[in-house]
Amino acid sequence: MTFKPALTLAAVAAALALAACSDKQETSVQLSASEAAASSPAAAQAQTLASSDGKISITVDNGRFEDRSAEAAQWLGSAEQGELVLLQRDDAANITLAAHKLGQPKSDAAAFFNNLAADLKANQDLQDVEVGEATDNRMNYRFSHSSEGVSLSEQCVALYEAEQLYSVCASSDSAPAAQLAAVLGNITLKP
């Protein structure tokens, strides 16, 4: 089944944009230890994926991801395609991996992540929202939502640098949360 996560990506992008500007309090939860362990790399064949702007590198163990950037219109709304820097799909695992540039931040990292956490939790279109603790430049979060009669789970990482904000999400309508978290377990943001 081909699922277009365009509505959710738009909602998350909007939340990221709002988080860059608003002043909300942080209310976050840590991801469980078993999920963190599931996302750590194992000794297996690794596949390294790179964003089109060369800033993001993602290493995935046992992945069979293929570039789907040329098919972006099938997966994303036209408004999102301009910011898309990576679109990969592993058909065997039924996982789509997308990374977006979200523009220059308008606040410091702590304020940005606080606002993002609050905006995600306030979004009525998202269910099962959980937000991990933010570091200096990264915050993990996850949620689920339904669209076109399909329930989609997403694990995401917001990346912060002074010149650019990024969102990297792994999504699936069948893969378990631990498998999605594992896809995002080894992300490098190059200076």
Domain ranges within the chain, ordered by starting residue: 6-189
Residue 121: count other Cβ atoms within 10 Å of its Cβ. Answer: 18
In sequence order, what are the beta bridge partners of 157?
140, 168
Tokens of 28: 């976050």
* Of 35, 20, 4, 62, residue with least CA distance to 142: 35
Alpha helix ranges (H) inside 82-187 = 109-122, 177-183
pLDDT tens-digit profile, the chain (191 residues): 444 444 344 444 444 444 443 333 322 334 444 444 444 444 458 999 999 999 999 999 988 999 999 888 776 655 554 589 999 999 999 999 999 999 999 999 999 999 999 999 999 999 999 999 999 999 999 999 987 888 999 999 999 999 999 999 999 999 999 999 999 999 999 98
**Model pTM?**
0.77
Largest CA distance in the chain: 43
* Of 150, 121, 109, 85, residue with least CA distance to 12: 121
* Of 64, 37, 54, residue with least CA distance to 185: 37
Tokens of 57: 């590198």
Helix, strand, coil percentages (3-state) for the chain, rounded to 5, are: 30, 35, 35
Tokens of 104: 């220059």
Torsion of CA 45, 143, 22, 186, to 10 degrees: -10
3-state secondary structure of 187: strand
The Cα 64–Cα 76 span in angstroms is 21
CATH architecture type of domain 6-189 = 3-Layer(aba) Sandwich (3.40)
